[in-house]
Amino acid sequence: MEHVEAHYDYLLVALSYVTSVLGAFTALRLLRQEAGAMGSEKWRSLVAGALAMGGGAIWSMHFIGMLAYKMGMPVEYDIPLTLASLIVAVLVTGFGLYVVGQGPKQPGRLVLGGTVMGAGVASMHYTGMAAMRMQGTLTYDTALVSISVAIAVVASIAALWLVFHAVKMWHMIASALVMGIAVCGMHYTGMVAATMKHDPTLAVPKASGLSPEILAYIIFLVTIVILSGSWLAVGSSRAARIQRTA
């Protein structure tokens, strides 16, 4: 089998970073805005934060980063596995936020929540990789895979700490920029860990009607809509709470 030399569309790489930063910033703002909320409002904030961080900062960045990876052959994505990777990203992020939220100043909770979240993020990445359907096979460098998992865990612990400690606007902006670097670092380390070999015995996937570039921009726009919707939903509940207590 012939080794496939891949390259990146750096415009899409940059877009993946921007997506991650926007998702992280939105999650930080939402969760800080709803600090001290109780009952259904607290759960609404948790869900919105998990969607913003897990779906926007992590999964959308991951998928756009996948589309930036040019292998010179048609690629399709298994829809159930791709959706599973999205669900994993949102669920593990929600779990991490919930665990740490019960005791933000307890290091044990921070480490537990961050470790589970990081392992889940890594699982999301490699599930997304497994969803690729192409005329080629993937093998992985175990050492680099381990490094990518370690980056995911450290980034998750940092993200959870920032969620509950970043207060000022410039703190949140700086934190989101750092989180974008961390999430992208995990993703692209995982991509470097992969080696692809062309396998002519496999079926050639049908070419999609959309180019990777168009699909990446659609994902970016959908992510912006979801982040905006989450912000509006939590903002409306906060306004209602303020009005009730006025």
- CA neighbor of 73 nearest in space, from 213, 215, 204: 204
- CA neighbor of 153 nearest in space, from 183, 124, 178, 118: 118
Give me the pLDDT at residue 31, please: 76
Q: Give the tens place of pLDDT for each residue, 76-110.
A: 888 888 899 999 999 999 898 888 877 767 888 88
Give me the pLDDT at residue 209, please: 56
Dihedral sign, CA of 93, 98, 104, 109? negative
| Window from 5-14, 145-154, 201-210 with minimum mean pLDDT | 201-210
Q: Does position 208 have pLDDT exceeding 70, yes or no?
A: no
Q: Give the tens place of pLDDT for each residue, 214-224.
A: 889 989 998 99
- Nearest-angstrom CA–CA distance, 105 and 91: 22
Name the one residue in this structure whose structure tokens are 């990203």.
89
Give the ranges where 34-78 is alpha helix by DSSP (H). 39-50, 61-67
Name the one residue in this structure whose structure tokens are 């969607």.
51
